[in-house]
Amino acid sequence: MKKFIAEFKSFAMRGNVIDLAVGVIVGSAFGKIVSSLVTNIIMPPIGLLLGGVKFSSFFINLGDKHVTTLEEAQAANVPVIAYGAFLDTVIEFFIISLAVFVVVKQVNKLKPKSESLPKPRLCPYCKQPIADNAVRCPHCTSMLTEK
């Protein structure tokens, strides 16, 4: 049991696991912020353009009972397709995707550019990489005349 606990501790304390945990927590908080942005700031003007209707309340009634609002349908357990809430979620996804793209693009600009390695010299016969000063290919043992 001690070995198991030691292995788990080693696993849990590696940098990747901790980085992943921090990423999930920050991502969850970021998702809540974007959800609030979509629900409270972006969708009300769109609803206003659509005649003052709350966009997330759009639904299709699948039941026999006549209901006028989504809240009324949910209270009466009437089956509905809540396409307005689905569209809210789709817009939320696109905003999160755009924000992640912008953040990753900015982080990549901050990273130092990796130096490109020179192309290795290849054997003209077997096309395997060889040392620059080699006179014989270590892979196919061909004599190399060019450098």
Beta carbons of 79 and 62 less than 8 angstroms apart: yes
Can you give the pLDDT at residue 146? Answer: 62
The structural domains of the chain, with segments of one domain joined by +, span 2-113, 117-147
Kindly report the pTM of this predicted structure. Answer: 0.54
Note the CATH number of domain 2-113.
1.10.1200.120
Q: Which residues of the chain have pLDDT under 70?
A: 15, 146-147
pLDDT digits (tens, 9 = 90+) for 99-108: 888 888 888 8
Beta carbons of 101 and 108 less than 8 angstroms apart: no
Q: Which two tokens stand for residue 118?
A: 């020179």
- Phi, psi for residue 143 in degrees, rounded to 5: -75, 135
Taking the C-alpha atoms of residue 82 and residue 70, their distance in angstroms, rounded to an integer, is: 8
Q: Which two tokens stand for residue 21?
A: 């945990």
